[in-house]
Amino acid sequence: MRKYAILVLIIIFLSCQKDKKAIDNAAADLIVTNGKIAIMDKNNTMAEAIAVEGGKVIAFGTSSEMLKLKGDKTNVIDANGRTIIPGLNDSHLHLTRGGRFYNAELRWDGVKSLKKALQMLKEQAARTPKGQWVRVVGGWSPYQFEEKRFPTVQEINEATGDVPAFVLFLYSRAWMNKSGMKVLKIDENTKPPEGSSYEKGPDGKLTGVFLAEPNPTILYAGIGALPPMTGQEMSNSTKQFYRELNKYGITSGIDAGGGGHVFPKDYSATKSLADAGKMPIRLSYYLFPQNKGKEFEEFQNWIATNKVGNNGEIHLDHGYELEGGGEFLTWSAGDFENFLAPQPMLEDRPSWRNDIKKVIRLHVDSGWPFRIHATYGETISNLLDVLEEVNKETNGKLAKERWLFDHAETVTEAQLKRVKALNGGIAIQARMAYAGEYFVERYGAAKAQYAPPLKLMIKMGIPVGAGTDGTRVASYNPWPALYWMVSGKTVGGLQLSAPDNLLTRQEALSLYTKGSAWVSKEEAVKGTLEKGMYADFILLSDDYFTVQESKIKDLSAVLTVVGGNVVFGDKEYIKLNPAIEKAIPDWSPVNFYGGYQKK
């Protein structure tokens, strides 16, 4: 027996030596040297260089060590001392929908003054052809402007004239100019959707302000009435949007679906990129039902005709895959994040419990992961009652599946304990960075200090992924979100979070990498730069770990790598930037302003 054990040990040793020798002799596809590389492993390891082969990290260490893996065809990139981090992964970003509309939208994301925003509106109106609209669809806050206020309807009308225009703020309100109202034939006799209203002035006439109180259906309807782009334009738009995400270091995103976004029809541009092997970003998606009252039937059909995971042999690289159902499982059980209106209560909708229990049970019985939109603790408490019932009825099967809450701004410690007991997770977004002032006005500064309780979630060991909820509720740019987690401040500079609810830079980055990988059940392949993980990483414009705190929100990538391939280059790496065609149509705001505004 002893001889057998010794023989086994010898075989294991020789096997390990063989594997080590193979790695030592391997020629890397890509080596990045002279960097400050955050591996983001449990030891917070920092390295100087990294080697990639076959799209995965094969080693990291000193530059001299990694250069030993250089072959005749190895691409060597000098990081010039720049900080390198794993690619950012947004746990809740409406990627495919954002791509569909990006070329048609004028983005106010990052604009520093209302004067500048209105000037952009005026310029875009001047170049917008007959039959099209000027549209600003979310991603901004009035508090980011020097003026600290909303535009007025009069200002929007003056800027746009006879060109129809629609301006959306979160899912709270929108402004439509006179021309747009005329085109859509909206007047004093037009009945608004339930839970919404058209604002009227003292004279009884419509002002052009659409109010979600708090139901955003009126806003969805406004967006849905805007002229669509052609298939070719949407394909180009999707490429432009993904390049924009790469510019800010996004290498993965988890798509939460969204209203007015039908599967599979509205996913065609992204799927075509994936089928052609041309995705510059790894995308996981959850399916969002569109037909109120028919959600169970929609999920039945999807579950019968689709597989979670790779959903086909063509996408074995986690480049484009279906993850499950959500973020709304049923419309009757959803709440809304409109802090300008009173909090909605599930008790006001008698069918909510039966509706969502059927859908949750369907997911659990089918082995489908799911996520649930829930802004308020009261909503979460009610939903946990249902989740606990289903878990009991299925002999603990629910707690063995991947499931999570989205948002959870006012979740309590008691509710978090219940989430943990069911092995659930939470995806948090920087919505408070864009609407925090209105939250404080309605619920008070004390409640805002722990909305959401990030530090407590981490302390309790609950899986947490970070994100933005872009493109409508917040900007898609991840750096204002990271700044919010570290500083606790809104984009307007208001201090929200208590000192003991602030994250360290390491903690915040971990939520945006390893944490988000958990959300899509991909923590075994991405989120760190350890050996064997996907080679998704970015070289930063400045050192995230040491730059002045207020400058975190201004960071971007100068080089973005996905699977060992360069998908974006800037500054000294501009020659490595892959070619991309001009945005179409020619009048697209992207051709004149780009996306996020840093000036």
DSSP string over 386-412: HHHHHHHHTTT-GGGS-EEEEE-TT--
Q: What is the mean pLDDT of each run of 10 residues along the chain (599 residues)?
A: 48 48 69 98 97 98 98 98 98 97 98 98 98 97 98 98 97 97 96 93 94 90 94 97 98 94 95 93 96 96 91 64 95 92 92 98 98 97 98 98 97 98 98 98 98 98 98 97 98 98 98 97 96 98 98 98 98 98 98 93
- Among the listed residues 500, 598, 499, the one whose alpha carbon sits nearest the alpha carbon of residue 553: 598
Looking at 25, 54, 81, which one is the last position of a domain?
Answer: 81
Let me know if residue 77 belongs to a domain: yes
Ramachandran category for residue 77: left, alpha or beta (phi over 0 → left; psi -120 to 50 → alpha): beta
| Peptide linkage before 452 cis (omega within 30 of 0) | yes
- Cα angle: 88, vertex 93, 98; to 5 degrees: 115
Handedness of CA 122, 124, 126, 130 (dihedral sign): negative
As a whole number of angstroms, the distance between CA 598 and CA 581 comes to: 23
Phi, psi of 77 (to 5 degrees): -120, 130
Let me know if residue 265 belongs to a domain: no
Let me know if residue 35 belongs to a domain: yes
DSSP for 505-546?
HHHHHHIIIIIHHHHTT-TTTSSS-STTSB--EEEESS-TTT
Let me know if residue 483 belongs to a domain: no
103/184 same-domain check: yes
- Cα angle: 7, vertex 10, 14; to 5 degrees: 140
Is 34 in contact with 79 (CB distance < 8 Å)? yes
Handedness of CA 172, 344, 375, 225 (dihedral sign): negative
141/165 same-domain check: yes
As a whole number of angstroms, the distance between CA 434 and CA 491 comes to: 6
Q: What is the pLDDT of residue 336?
A: 87
Phi, psi of 561 (to 5 degrees): -125, 130
CATH of the domain at 62: 2.30.40.10
Helix axes 413-421, 377-393, angle to 10 degrees: 20
Handedness of CA 514, 515, 520, 524 (dihedral sign): positive
Looking at 56, 81, 106, which one is the last position of a domain?
Answer: 81
Neighbours of 582 (CB within 10 A): 10
64/100 same-domain check: no
Q: What is the pLDDT of residue 465?
A: 98
What is the tally of structural domains in the chain? Answer: 2
**Distance, C-alpha 454 to centroid of its chain:** 17
Helix axes 295-305, 352-366, angle to 10 degrees: 10
103/224 same-domain check: yes
Q: What is the pLDDT of residue 391?
A: 98
Looking at 81, 108, 135, which one is the last position of a domain?
Answer: 81
Is 284 in contact with 321 (CB distance < 8 Å)? yes
Let me know if residue 316 belongs to a domain: no
151/64 same-domain check: no
Let me know if residue 346 belongs to a domain: no
- Cα angle: 290, vertex 293, 299; to 5 degrees: 60
28/120 same-domain check: no
43/20 same-domain check: yes
Is 566 in contact with 55 (CB distance < 8 Å)? no
Question: Taking the model in full, what pTM does it have?
Answer: 0.94
Domain encompassing residue 112: 96-228+589-593
Phi, psi of 125 (to 5 degrees): -60, -35
Is 523 in contact with 517 (CB distance < 8 Å)? yes
- Could you tell me the strand order of the sheet in which 320-325 lies? 88-90, 250-255, 282-287, 320-325, 370-374, 403-407, 425-429, 464-467
Q: What is the pLDDT of residue 11?
A: 47
Handedness of CA 570, 571, 575, 581 (dihedral sign): positive
Sequence-distant (≥ 6) Cβ neighbours of residue 474 within 8 angstroms: 138, 139, 170, 429, 430, 431, 433, 434, 468, 481
Let me know if residue 579 belongs to a domain: no
- Among the listed residues 439, 463, 435, the one whose alpha carbon sits nearest the alpha carbon of residue 449: 439
- Among the listed residues 19, 154, 18, the one whose alpha carbon sits nearest the alpha carbon of residue 531: 19
**Distance, C-alpha 105 to centroid of its chain:** 18
Let me know if residue 552 belongs to a domain: no
116/223 same-domain check: yes
According to DSSP, the residues that pair with 38 across neighbouring strands are: 46
61/132 same-domain check: no
| Distance set, CA 396 to CA 299, 390, 391 (Å) | 22, 8, 5
Residues listed for the chain: 599
Residue identified by tokens 């969002």 is 288
104/217 same-domain check: yes
74/17 same-domain check: yes
70/104 same-domain check: no
- Residue type at 590? V
- Among the listed residues 135, 176, 186, the one whose alpha carbon sits nearest the alpha carbon of residue 153: 176
As a whole number of angstroms, the distance between CA 98 and CA 261 comes to: 10
